[in-house]
């Protein structure tokens, strides 16, 4: 918050300390009676060789208060600062009104690119609920970084290479038919893939057939490539329906196959730099000195692996995008792979590896069971989204039958409910997916935040126009108005923190704080029936809340319906 920074600068002058460091020390007092900001003096006790309460008593009267603050008081080991509430309200609301939907934005990333590798669906495999976390987290980061002035580059690193495609061809030729597969798309391919593995358990020669067909793909066989490309087209057709629901677009769909001709130079570079060793027939980079198992670059048969491809991918992205940051939004189970992969780049002398980060997140299970395409236990994300939309539409028809554009609102709210379910807690938390939890609209949910925004707009529509130049900001000094103002003032820092920590949930929580505070303000204060100057002030606060809620919802991938 700007106020916190101003206080930190004032304290820094007295303490001869950096203001940025002091800014992190501030706390929020447990009650309004104790002020608006509290500075703990306990960490100064050792260097100043005084008790915290004596430090607070000595410093409080010496601090030159920034504009907008009325007094500073020493209470125990704390210095409590009190804002001039009317001035504070004017400052916050004026800034929100002037900046509008850019409130909280910045140009700190101007001229810098951020590559964000997320979603990364697999060809001929389902776009399942287990893809929701990477997709929602990655897309939120894409928007947050753009909001802070960076140029986000969204990359869908398609899983479009490997022996599974040879197996898919065998399954299709033995048990599939073109009409069914063309009509049912990925779902039909998944059924064939599951059957292949069931049959291969009884007849292992099927695996050899699968490998032989994948070899044909590698060699450019016309029939093999035709089927392979058809499977890709069917998958992308189905996947695009889901991305359309989620309102997501990618800047690149360069998948694993794109890097097949880019790996040999990487292998040669590793060999030239003396990093490649042969161990039991495989070519590896020894990482034992870093307490990690070896990074396998080539198998005994000379085939490449994920690590080889990821090295080529990283070098290509640096050369192509010259990224300031390169993020991989991938589940934490792959943490060892990324540690190895990053370490190999470091050993290769790629100084820019310091700008790469594995943005890990928790695993998604379904009623306690992990997902497996081979076994056929898959929950399709498209089914979840459509079920949420249908349930939302039923609620709207029941509670607001006269509402216009019911289907459009149901889509925005239903999809938002699913996205919010994975963006309201820290990304590292495991999620046990259940239909009941995903489609629950009660409590601290996406629909609650969207409804709050719609409530703000309803108040403003009923009011018509209002005069922002003539409000009585002293009307906003009550506890609930001040709580809402503080929540609005905290939003820009929440956005910055979300980018610094790659944690979109910090934006979601900030939005929820605003929504909760607004609803308390709404119930505690009459808005339209008050004197003109009081009404104008409360409408200004209502307008600001709606503006910031809408921005926050956009940043985490949700729409803000005008009516609900």
Per residue in 418-427, pLDDT (tens digit) is: 999 999 989 8
pLDDT for the residue numbered 6 = 87
Q: pLDDT value at position 378?
A: 77
Place of tokens 């290769």: 348
123-127 average pLDDT score: 89
What's the confidence (pLDDT) of residue 428? Answer: 87
Q: Is residue 16 part of a domain?
A: yes
Assess whether pLDDT exceeds 80 at residue 376: no
Q: Which residue has the higher pLDDT, 304 or 120?
A: 120
Give the number of C-alpha atoms closer than 13 A to the C-alpha of residue 532, restricted to the C-beta side: 6
d(CA 323, CA 258): 19
Asked if residue 194 belongs to a domain, the reply is: no
Return the structure tokens found at 291. 């307490």
Q: Is residue 26 part of a domain?
A: yes
**509-546 pLDDT per residue, tens:** 999 999 999 999 999 999 998 899 999 999 999 999 99
Q: Given the structure tokens 């065998």, which residue do they identify?
A: 170
Q: How far apart are the first and last CA of the chain?
A: 32
Q: Per the domain annotation, does 458 fall within a domain? A: no
Residue 34, pLDDT above cutoff 80 = yes
Residue 77 counted as domain residue: yes
- Strands of 113-117's sheet in order across: 151-155, 113-117, 325-331, 356-361
Higher pLDDT, 179 or 434: 179
pLDDT tier at 374 (50, 70, 90 boundaries)?
Answer: low
367 in helix, strand or coil? Answer: coil
CATH number for the domain that contains residue 30: 3.30.1360.70
250 or 30, higher pLDDT: 250
Residue 284 lies in a domain: no
Length of the chain measured in residues: 564
- What pLDDT, on the 0 to 100 scale, is given for residue 112? 98
Q: Using a pLDDT cut of 90, give the percent of the chain over it.
A: 78
Residue ranges making up the domain that contains 8: 2-83
Look up the pTM and report it: 0.91
Q: How many domains does the chain have?
A: 1
- For residue 205, count CB atoms less than 10 angstroms from its CB and return exposed for 0-12, middle for 13-18, buried for 19 or more: exposed
The mean per-residue pLDDT over the stretch 202-218 comes to: 92
What are the phi and psi torsion angles at 303 (to 5°)?
A: -75, 150
- Whole-number pLDDT of residue 285: 97
Residue 32: band (very low, low, confident or very high) from pLDDT cuts 50, 70, 90? confident
Give the pLDDT confidence score for residue 21 in this predicted structure: 84
Checking if the pLDDT of 355 tops 70, the result is: yes
Report residue 432's pLDDT band, with 50, 70 and 90 as the boundaries.
confident
């Amino acid at each position: 918050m700007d106020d916190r920074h101003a206080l930190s600068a004032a304290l820094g002058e007295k303490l001869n300390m950096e203001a940025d460091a002091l800014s992190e020390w501030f706390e929020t007092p447990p009650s309004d009676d104790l002020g608006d900001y509290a500075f703990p003096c306990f960490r100064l006790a050792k260097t100043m060789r005084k008790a915290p309460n004596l430090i607070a008593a000595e410093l409080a009267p010496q601090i030159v208060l920034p504009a907008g603050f009325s007094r500073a008081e020493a209470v125990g080991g704390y210095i409590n600062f009190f804002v001039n509430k009317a001035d504070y309200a004017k400052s916050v609301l004026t800034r929100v009104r002037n900046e509008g939907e850019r409130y909280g934005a910045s140009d700190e990333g101007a001229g810098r690119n951020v590559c964000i590798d997320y979603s990364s669906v697999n060809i001929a495999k389902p776009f399942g609920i287990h893809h929701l976390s990477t997709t929602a987290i990655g897309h939120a980061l894409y928007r947050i970084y753009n909001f802070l002035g960076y140029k986000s580059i969204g990359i869908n690193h398609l899983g479009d290479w490997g022996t599974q495609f040879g197996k898919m061809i065998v399954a299709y030729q033995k048990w599939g038919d073109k009409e069914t597969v063309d009509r049912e798309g990925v779902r039909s391919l998944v059924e064939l893939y599951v059957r292949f593995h069931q049959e291969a358990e009884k007849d292992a020669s099927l695996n050899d057939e699968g490998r032989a067909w994948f070899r044909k793909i590698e060699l450019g066989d016309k029939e093999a490539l035709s089927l392979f490309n058809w499977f890709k087209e069917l998958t992308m057709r189905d996947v695009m329906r889901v991305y359309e629901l989620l309102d997501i677009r990618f800047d690149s769909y360069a998948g694993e196959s794109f890097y097949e001709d880019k790996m040999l130079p990487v292998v040669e570079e590793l060999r030239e730099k003396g990093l490649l060793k042969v161990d039991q027939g495989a070519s590896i980079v020894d990482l034992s000195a870093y307490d990690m198992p070896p990074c396998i670059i080539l198998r005994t048969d000379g085939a490449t692996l994920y690590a080889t491809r990821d090295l080529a991918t990283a070098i290509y992205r640096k050369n192509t995008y010259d990224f300031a940051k390169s993020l991989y939004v991938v589940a934490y189970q792959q943490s060892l792979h990324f540690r190895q992969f990053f370490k190999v780049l470091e050993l290769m002398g790629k100084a820019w590896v310091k700008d790469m980060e594995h943005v890990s997140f928790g695993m998604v299970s379904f009623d306690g069971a992990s997902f497996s395409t081979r076994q056929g236990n898959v929950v399709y994300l498209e089914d979840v989204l459509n079920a949420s939309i249908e349930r939302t539409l039923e609620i709207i028809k029941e509670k607001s039958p006269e509402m216009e554009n019911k289907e459009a609102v149901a889509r925005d709210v239903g999809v938002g409910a699913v996205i919010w379910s994975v963006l309201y807690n820290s990304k590292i938390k495991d999620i046990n997916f259940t239909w009941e939890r995903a489609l629950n609209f009660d409590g601290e949910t996406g629909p609650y935040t969207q409804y709050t925004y719609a409530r703000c707009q309803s108040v403003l529509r009923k009011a018509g126009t209002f005069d922002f130049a003539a409000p009585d900001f002293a009307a906003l000094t009550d506890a609930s108005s001040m709580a809402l103002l503080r929540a609005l003032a905290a939003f820009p820092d929440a956005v910055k923190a979300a980018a610094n920590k790659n944690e979109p949930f910090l934006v979601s929580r900030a939005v929820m704080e605003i929504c909760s505070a607004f609803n308390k303000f709404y119930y505690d204060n009459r808005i339209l029936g008050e004197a003109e100057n009081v009404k104008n002030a409360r409408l200004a606060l209502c307008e600001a809340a709606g503006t910031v809620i809408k921005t926050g919802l956009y940043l985490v991938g949700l729409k803000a319906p005008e009516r609900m």
